[in-house]
Amino acid sequence: MQCDLSNKTVLVTGAGQGIGRAIALAFAEAGANVAINDRDMPGDLPELLEQCARTSDEAIFCQADVSRADAVSEMVEQVSDELGVIDVLVNNAGISQPKPFLQLSEGDWDQTLGVNLKSVFLCSQQVLPGMLKKGGGCIINIASELGYLGRAGFAPYTAAKGGMITLTRSMAREFAPTIRVNAIAPGPCDTEMLRSEIKTPEQMEQELDIPMQRFGKPEEIAATAVFLASEHAGFYCGDVLSPNGGSLMR
């Protein structure tokens, strides 16, 4: 299935590494103009932009903390000025700070909810007026299977991802049919974040206790995002696609 997103402007938050990076590259491969956001500048930024530019018309980097309203406003203004009105927003930015519930501080909670959930509100609210004026657009929120399952030691993260899923459905109801809002809830994927959380062989065994017996690949999640942004997904509204290797069947 060919997904041609030429002449589309796409903003991907948290795209410096992992799933976000794969999504940015996949949209570039589909011909879109890509704005890559991250809080920190990737060490290989020139190579990343060059790789995107091979197949897209243009690629830019926007350094911004998407949990801050002023930073989000400046980022969206930069993208609009340099690439045009944003057609597709991928809310991917996220952090995970595993910690037992009784050891969580208010700061831990606020930071995790700010990056993982508040950012979806801030970025979407800034981007939606341009989409509505243009008469169309697409928002894709990157949630997690843990938004359904929960997990001990990950209370802020799972609360944020569960909130993202219901926020997706609320936004979809409010802005359809002009704007399509959907989510992706991946299972365990081979990313820097997941690898940093695995401390013991027992944890690795638990992660791989799924029917497909492997981690997902960031590129597999990226392909789902490109599909949701394409004309082939025109009847998807408030849906949550979950590439998870069968882990939700456990």
- Whether 81 has a pLDDT exceeding 80, the answer reads yes
The C-alpha atoms of residue 33 and residue 194 are separated, in whole angstroms, by 29
Q: Give the start-to-end residue ranges of the domains of the chain.
A: 9-190+217-244
pTM of the complete model: 0.93
Average pLDDT over the chain, rounded to an integer: 92
Q: What is the pLDDT of residues 111-169, one digit of tens each?
A: 999 999 999 999 999 999 999 999 999 999 999 999 988 999 999 999 999 999 999 99
- Whether 91 has a pLDDT exceeding 60, the answer reads yes
pLDDT of the residue at 43: 87
Place of tokens 């930073």: 71
Q: Once rounded to an integer, what is the mean pLDDT over residues 13-34? A: 96
**39-47 long-range Cβ contacts below 8 angstroms, 24+ apart:** 39/14, 39/63, 39/64, 39/65, 39/66, 39/93, 40/16, 41/16, 42/16, 42/17
Look up 148 and say whether it is catalytic: no
User: Looking at the domain 9-190+217-244, which fold is it?
Assistant: Rossmann fold (3.40.50)
Annotated catalytic residue within 27, 61, 157, 227: 157
